[in-house]
Amino acid sequence: MADNMNGSGYEYIISLCEAINKFTKQEESKNPSVFIYKKSNLRFAFERALYFNYARNSYFFGIFKAYRAGDRSKKIIVNNRMERRLISLLCVAEEKDISIKEENLINKFKKTALCAVRYCITRLGVDKIAENIRCGINNRRQKDIHPEVLFCVQNKRIVRYLKPISSKMTAPYAYVTFDKEIAEYLRNENMPFIYLSKFGYPLERWSKKKNALYKFVITDKYDLLYDSLNRIKPKSVVVAEGNTSHDEIINRICKQCGIQSICIQQGWAFFATHTGFRNMTYGKMLVWGKGFARNLSRHNPDQKFIATGSHIISIKNFKTEKIFAISLFSQGKTFIINETVSREFISLAEQIIMEYPNVKVILREHPLYPFTAIEKERFGKIGVIFMSPFKYSLDEVFEKSDLTISIFSSTILESIAAGIVPIVFNPNLFPNYFPDINTMGVGIEVKNVKDAISTIKKLIKNPEEIKKYKEPMEKFRKEYFSYNKEIAINNIIRELTN
């Protein structure tokens, strides 16, 4: 059974978010310009960088659990003053009890040498030469490109998510990236793109003063993106999800250059309050429905939300027939989903097949946490059907499903849009899935494998049990999924080009 929530991964994430907020506020109170770079306030980009850097930091998590359990005997050693402040706020520990790792002679020599190199580069103007070369290369690549809409992408998953929108656009558009692998992927897919050159980037970086923004590559990304976005001057720059440091950097550049920044909802954080989903100020955030706008607005009072619908989910009639197929959406191991819970969740597939051999069991891996070849072989032998996100769309999985199960994936809500009752598997990992679909009568939340199997058994043996979810689910869909995907695509394109 999973750990209770005292010192759990969920509590760690919530506490980390609060610690980050306190830390940046304190820093800004001491020095109002601490997060200012080239007239842009990059505080929220820094906060997001902190969050994604430490949300899966096993050392920080271990210290947090020990402190929450009352064990303060473990010596805390961190890398720098910033980490000492952060872990002090995270664990409510005294800074004097936290030691900073001593640098060895080799590291001290490297630092001294780097200072000398930085001085020489700056004095000789080599950094400016490198910057001019990079800008010159990018300028030649971009001089004949005049897209009205730019899609900024960092990985293939986001490209695939945005493709249904860009493929229907009549206005000129392009994808933009400084990742060579993504550029090659876009080239192979025959999609218009702009590749930002990093040539000269190392020399430019060496000339910069080391500070908190430098540490998380925020100033570097700002420089790489600013020149191109300002030169191309599209009407709109688009990001998906919008919760990363990279997305916020783009947002701040757009504000400075008079460009409209637009964020398109890509998923849902089951508690919707982590640092990535706070303090958003995009020109527009396009969400699936008004319910998402309402739930996000608490932590994003300055964000304008527009309900456009989801461009990847078909809103379908409620399924009231018998259960012939059950889909499980795996999410991989995290601080919230520990090894025990991960095994318990996957074991559901085996138990369902054992109890109901005539029911098809579909297993879909998370794109960031794919199954190993050994795992696929093992489950393939007992009859599990794999529907990889790299081969099958979410709509295709829902088309074959009569019941869905996940821990806290956004597919829980998307399942409701597709007319399928979802089950949340939550063995005391977090208080309740948010929004609380169990209380709202649009889904079921269970606390252990036994309850999950019992619930499935009841639904299979008595299809009438499923029908009671129909009316609440239809009401929920109107609130959280405003339009079908065909209409959503048109709505999104209109907002991108207006």
CB 188 within 8 Å of CB 109: no
What domain range includes position 88?
Answer: 9-100
Q: How many domains does the chain have?
A: 3
266/386 same-domain check: no
Section 374-379 average pLDDT = 79
The number of residues making up the chain comes to 498
What confidence score (pLDDT) does residue 118 get? 55
Q: Is residue 64 part of a domain?
A: yes
What confidence score (pLDDT) does residue 238 get? 98
Q: Is residue 208 part of a domain?
A: no
**pLDDT for residue 163 is more than 70:** yes
What confidence score (pLDDT) does residue 298 get? 92
**pLDDT for residue 147 is more than 80:** yes
pLDDT: which is higher, 382 or 242: 242
Section 324-335 average pLDDT = 87
Of the residues 307, 339, 359, which one is the last residue of a structural domain? 307
Section 439-459 average pLDDT = 94
142/290 same-domain check: yes
What confidence score (pLDDT) does residue 126 get? 46
88/139 same-domain check: no
Q: How confident is the model at residue 202 (pLDDT cuts 50, 70, 90)?
A: low
pLDDT: which is higher, 85 or 131: 85
Question: CA–CA separation, 81 vs 100, rounded Å?
Answer: 7
What confidence score (pLDDT) does residue 110 get? 55
Single pTM value for the model: 0.88
Highest mean pLDDT, choosing among 161-170, 177-186, 334-343, 428-437: 161-170
pLDDT: which is higher, 81 or 146: 81
Section 395-424 average pLDDT = 94
Over the stretch 263-305, which tens digit does the pLDDT of each residue have? 999 999 887 679 999 999 999 999 999 999 999 999 999 999 9
346/293 same-domain check: no
CATH number of the domain that residue 179 is part of: 3.40.50.11190
Looking only at the bridges linking them, the beta strands covering 305-307 and 284-287 are parallel
What confidence score (pLDDT) does residue 382 get? 83
Q: What three-state secondary structure class fits 263?
A: strand
pLDDT: which is higher, 408 or 370: 408
Q: How far is CA 1 from CA 4, 188, 243, 339, 448, in A?
A: 9, 46, 32, 10, 8
Q: Is residue 315 part of a domain?
A: no
Question: CA–CA separation, 188 vs 159, rounded Å?
Answer: 13
Of the residues 100, 125, 145, which one is the last residue of a structural domain? 100
Q: How confident is the model at residue 121 (pLDDT cuts 50, 70, 90)?
A: very low
373/265 same-domain check: no
Query: Measuring CA to CA, which residue among 277, 279, 278, 282 is closest to residue 304?
Result: 282
Section 354-366 average pLDDT = 90
CB 309 within 8 Å of CB 482: yes
Q: Is residue 70 part of a domain?
A: yes
* Token couple for 158: 């986001």
What confidence score (pLDDT) does residue 107 get? 57
335/292 same-domain check: no
Q: Which residues pair with 284 in a beta bridge?
A: 262
If one counts every other C-beta atom within 10 angstroms of the C-beta of residue 1, the result is 11
Over the stretch 476-491, which tens digit does the pLDDT of each residue have? 999 999 999 999 999 9
293/409 same-domain check: no
250/331 same-domain check: no
Section 150-161 average pLDDT = 94
What confidence score (pLDDT) does residue 198 get? 64
Q: Is residue 489 part of a domain?
A: no
What confidence score (pLDDT) does residue 234 get? 94
What percent of the chain has pLDDT above 70?
Answer: 87
318 CB contacts (<8 Å, ≥6 apart)? 419, 469, 470, 473, 474
Summary mean pLDDT of the chain: 86
Over the stretch 243-265, which tens digit does the pLDDT of each residue have? 999 999 999 999 999 999 999 99
Mean pLDDT lowest among 191-205, 223-237, 241-255: 191-205
358/468 same-domain check: yes
Question: CA–CA separation, 437 vs 405, rounded Å?
Answer: 13
335/438 same-domain check: yes
pLDDT: which is higher, 264 or 223: 264
164/69 same-domain check: no
Question: CA–CA separation, 415 vs 395, rounded Å?
Answer: 9
What confidence score (pLDDT) does residue 137 get? 47
